Amino acid sequence: MLVVQKYGGSSVAGPERMRAVAQRIAQVHDQGHSIVVAVSAMGDTTDDLIKLVTAINDKPDEREMDVLLSTGEQISISLLALTLKGAAKPVISLTGAQAGILTDSTHTKAKILEINTRRLEQELQLGKIVIVAGFQGIDRLNDITTLGRGGSDTTAVALAAALKADMCEIYTDVDGIYTTDPRLVPDARKLKEISYEEMLELASLGAAVLHPRSVELAMRYKIPLVVRSSFNQNPGTTVKEVDQVERSQAVTGVAYDLNVAKIGIFNVWDKPGIAYKLFKTLSDQNVNVDMIIQSSMHNEVNDISFTCAQADLKKALNIIETLLPELGADGFTSDADVAKVSIVGAGMLSNPGVAALMFEALCEAGVNLEMISTSEIKISCIIRAEKVQQAVAALHKKFNLSSED
Amino acid sequence: MLVVQKYGGSSVAGPERMRAVAQRIAQVHDQGHSIVVAVSAMGDTTDDLIKLVTAINDKPDEREMDVLLSTGEQISISLLALTLKGAAKPVISLTGAQAGILTDSTHTKAKILEINTRRLEQELQLGKIVIVAGFQGIDRLNDITTLGRGGSDTTAVALAAALKADMCEIYTDVDGIYTTDPRLVPDARKLKEISYEEMLELASLGAAVLHPRSVELAMRYKIPLVVRSSFNQNPGTTVKEVDQVERSQAVTGVAYDLNVAKIGIFNVWDKPGIAYKLFKTLSDQNVNVDMIIQSSMHNEVNDISFTCAQADLKKALNIIETLLPELGADGFTSDADVAKVSIVGAGMLSNPGVAALMFEALCEAGVNLEMISTSEIKISCIIRAEKVQQAVAALHKKFNLSSED
C-alpha cells in the first residue's frame, strides 16, 4: 500500500512532537507500506520569518518572500528526516523542487501544474520513507514558489494523486470534522464520513480544517482524505465521494461565520447590466461578495442586498457611493453586526422540508432572519451577530446532529 | 567592471547592518558596475539550526544537515534582496543551486566542481544585482551540499573566477590582515598588500580571516582579493600574486598558535619505513600532524618529535602506545603547555639572515626554543605557552613591523 500523510505546523513544533510524528510514520513503514510525508513549517516559523521582513521592507517582493518562506518547510523536513534517521529508519528529505513539484509563477499563491515523480518513485523503490516539504514548489524558471494558504494540504493531495496513493491522511490538531463548532455546542459530534461537496461548504463557512483548494483537488482525483489528530489515535473523519458516504440524515453539519457585513442598495434601476456593473466593479477591486439577494419591490426598481467580509466593507461602500448615479439608486445602508448560520448536507437534495425545519428552529429560538440564500446542499441565513450561539445550538438540536448517523 | 563581494555573517546580522550592506552594494551598482554578492548566514543562525538538531539526533546524517544548514544562507539572500528592493534597486537572490554551483557529493564539506554561469549572466545582463547564497551548492544528484568552514569565501572566489570578475572583495568584521594579532601587540600594523603564499601561512597559523581554501582558489585563478571591514570605509588588505607585492622587508607578519601539543618518541629504530608507519597510522586516524623533527642522536636510533592539535593529543598518544614495539622505541613524552610562534615573509627567500635574527630576538626576550622548523617563507618555533606574548612582541619589534613598509 502507498500512503501519503501530511503533518501541520503544530504537529511538528518541537523535538517531542517531532518524535511522536516520526514514530507514527515508522509504524506505517514497519508494516511494509510505502510512505510519503508532506510537512509544514514548525509552529511559528513562518510568522517569525515574516517578522524579519517587516523591519526592512513594508511591501516585500513576492518572489523573494517565497525564497524566504520556503526555508520554514526545508527546516522541518530535515529535522523530521534526522529524527527518523536517529531511529535507524531509511529516510530522505526532498524540497518541493527536488520532489518535482512544478507550479506556475504566481509567487506566494502558486498553483501546482504537475509533479514529476521520477525522484519520488526512485526513493520509494529504495525502500525509503520520503519526507517532502509542503507548501512549496518550483516554476519553469527554476524559481522557488509557495502555494499560499492551505498549501501543505494541497501538496499532500497532489502527491497522493500523482503517485496514485491508496490513502491520504491529513494530520492536524483537531480530531476530525464536527457537526458544528464544539466550542459553541458542547455535544457536537465528530463525523465518520463527509462528502467533498459538504466539506467544501463547511470549510468556506468557517470550519476551516482542510483548505478548500486541497478538497477540490481531492474531489477531482477522487482521493479519499482522512482528517485526524496527530496527538491521539482517534480514527478521524473520511472525506470522500458523495455516493460513497453512508447517510441517514438530511443535514450533516451546522456552520457559522461572524466575519460578515451586510449591504443594501435601495431602488436600483431595473434594467439589464445594472447588477453586472455593480458586482463587476466590486470584483475588480477584490471585494469578495458572498450572498446576493435581489428583490423586485415595485415596477422598474429593485433593492439589491449582498454580504462581504468585514475587512472589505469600507472599500465596498466607497465603490457603491461612486456608482450610485450609474445604478440610479436612492441610497444604501450597511450593517456589520450580523452573522451567517448555515446548514449543510448532501441529503437535502432528497428532503424538501429541510428549509422549513431550519426556519422553524430559528423562529422557536427567537432568531430573526435578515437574509436567506439557498443552494443545493446548503441553506444560509443572515441573523444578528449576538444570536449566533442560540441559532447554531437550535439548528444542531433540530436536526438531531448529536446522535450517531 | 564586474565586482564580486562577499559579506560574512556578522555583516548581515540584523536589519540595520543589512541596510548598511545594501547601501554599499547599491553604490557600486549606481556607478554602473555589474555586481554579484555572496552572503553568509546571519549572525548565529547556523548555531541556532545546529542546536535544533542536538535535541533529536546526536550523530546527524550529513545529507540532511546540509538541507537544514543551507536554509541559513537562503534566509540571508532573501532578506538582503528585500532590503535592496525596498531601496528600489533591481535585484534577484539565487540559492547555490540556482546560481549553478555544482559540487561533489561530500556533504558538509563539498568541493565546487564547476559553476554553470548561464543564470548568473542572464540576470547580470538584465542589469540586476545578483545575491548568491554562500557556503552551498548542489551535486549531480540534485541534492543540496554545503562547503564547510570558510565556505562563503570560497563561493565568492569561485564566482569571481567563473565570471572573470575584475575584483573580489571579502567583507568581514576586521579591517584587513595585520602584521600580528593586535590584541597581543598594540602597534600591529595593517598590511596594504600580502601574497597568497604568505596569507596561506598566516591563515593556517591562526590569523584566520580568510579560509585557506578560498586563498588557494584565488591563487590558482590569480584573483586579487581585497579583505576589508563592512563596518567602515577603510581600504583593507589586498591579497595578490607574490611578484606584484611591493616589499621592502623580509618578514611580513608574526603568527602564533596556542592550540598545539608536542610529542617526543625516544630511540626509534633508524631503518626505512619507520616514519612512514608512524605518520601513516596517525593520518589514517585523522590526527593532523604539523611540525615533524627527526634527529639522529647515536648510530641506529633516532628521536622523533612532532606537534598536533591539542584535541588530537590523547588519540595520538594511544596510537603511539600501540605502535611502540613496531617502532622499536624506548618510550615517549608529551607536553600540551606549548605554543608555536612563526614569522612569515616571502622576502625571506633573499634574506639569509632572517632565522638568526629571529633566534636573537627570542633569546633577548628570554624565550627558550624547544623545536624549530623552517620552510621557504616561514620559520616556526615551539616555545612555552606562557611566553607567547613576549615572543610575538619581540619578533614584531625586531623585524620593525609597526613601521610602514
Residue B303 vs residue A390, higher pLDDT:
A390
Of the candidates A60, A71, A79, which has its C-beta nearest B82's C-beta? Answer: A60
Distance (Å) from the C-alpha of residue A16 to the closest C-alpha of chain B?
9
* Cβ contacts of A54 on chain B, cutoff 8 Å: none
At residue B205, does pLDDT exceed 80? no
Mapping DSSP onto H, E and C, the string for A260-305 reads: EEEEEEEEEECCCCHHHHHHHHHHHCCCCEEEEEEEECCCCEEEEE
Distance (Å) from the C-alpha of residue B14 to the closest C-alpha of chain A?
9
Give the residue among A234, A203, A67, A141 at the shortest CA–CA distance from B75.
Answer: A67
Mutation target to probe the A interface, by most A beta carbons within 10 A, among B67, B84, B93, B102 is B67
Is A86 in contact with B56 (Cβ distance < 8 A)? yes
Is B65 in contact with A86 (Cβ distance < 8 A)? no
The three three-digit cell numbers of residue A289, written as one number = 461578495
Domain B2-173 matching CATH 3.40.470.10: the answer reads: no
Mean pLDDT over B280-291 rounds to 89
The three three-digit cell numbers of residue B72, written as one number = 541559513
Distance (Å) from the C-alpha of residue B285 to the closest C-alpha of chain A?
25
**Model confidence pLDDT, tens digit, residues B22-47:** 999 999 999 999 999 999 999 889 88
Distance (Å) from the C-alpha of residue A126 to the closest C-alpha of chain B?
15
Containing H/E element for B392?
helix B388-398
d(CA A249, CA A404) in angstroms, rounded, equals: 10
Is B56 in contact with A79 (Cβ distance < 8 A)? yes
* Cβ contacts of A49 on chain B, cutoff 8 Å: 75
Strand partners, B170: B6, B227
The proportion of chain B whose per-residue pLDDT surpasses 90, expressed as a percent, equals 73
Q: In which residue are the cell numbers 559579506 written? A: B7
Positions of chain A with pLDDT under 50: none
Q: From residue A357, how far is each of A185, A363, B395 by CA, in Å? A: 19, 10, 99
d(CA A118, CA A105) in angstroms, rounded, equals: 22
Number of alpha helices (DSSP H) and beta strands (DSSP E) in chain A: 11, 18
Mutation target to probe the B interface, by most B beta carbons within 10 A, among A18, A50, A71 is A71
Is A60 in contact with B85 (Cβ distance < 8 A)? yes
Q: Is B349 helix (H, G, I), strand (E, B) or coil?
A: helix
ipTM of the complex: 0.81
The residue of chain B nearest to residue A17, with distances taken between CA atoms, is B56
3-state helix, strand, coil split of chain A in percent (to 5) is 40, 30, 35
Mutation target to probe the A interface, by most A beta carbons within 10 A, among B62, B79, B92 is B79
d(CA B227, CA B225) in angstroms, rounded, equals: 6
Q: What confidence category does residue B262 fall into, taking pLDDT thresholds of 50, 70 and 90?
A: very high
Distance (Å) from the C-alpha of residue B29 to the closest C-alpha of chain A?
20
Mutation target to probe the B interface, by most B beta carbons within 10 A, among A52, A53, A64, A65 is A64
Distance (Å) from the C-alpha of residue A67 to the closest C-alpha of chain B?
6
* Cβ contacts of B73 on chain A, cutoff 8 Å: none
* Sequence letter at residue A149: R
Distance (Å) from the C-alpha of residue A393 to the closest C-alpha of chain B?
45
Q: Note whether A2-173 and A253-398 share their fold.
A: no
**Model confidence pLDDT, tens digit, residues A147-204:** 988 899 999 999 999 999 999 999 988 889 999 988 889 999 999 999 999 998 887 5
The proportion of chain B whose per-residue pLDDT surpasses 70, expressed as a percent, equals 97
Residue B291 vs residue B34, higher pLDDT:
B34
**Given this model, what pLDDT does residue B265 score?**
92
Is B95 in contact with A67 (Cβ distance < 8 A)? yes
**Model confidence pLDDT, tens digit, residues B110-141:** 999 999 999 999 999 999 999 999 999 999 99
- A214 Cβ contact partners less than 8 Å away, ≥ 6 residues apart: A150, A153, A154, A156, A157, A170, A225
Is B74 in contact with A77 (Cβ distance < 8 A)? no
The three three-digit cell numbers of residue A252, written as one number = 450533516
Q: In which residue are the cell numbers 623533527 written? A: B293
Strand partners, A379: A343, A374
Is B78 in contact with A56 (Cβ distance < 8 A)? no
* Cβ contacts of B97 on chain A, cutoff 8 Å: 97
Q: From residue B207, how far is each of B169, B184, B342 by CA, in Å? A: 18, 12, 11
Tell me the CATH class for A253-398: alpha beta
**Given this model, what pLDDT does residue A297 score?**
62
| Domains of chain B by residue range | 2-173, 253-398
**Model confidence pLDDT, tens digit, residues B334-357:** 999 999 999 999 888 777 789 999
Is A78 in contact with B67 (Cβ distance < 8 A)? yes
What is the pLDDT of chain B when averaged over all its residues?
92
d(CA A220, CA A242) in angstroms, rounded, equals: 13
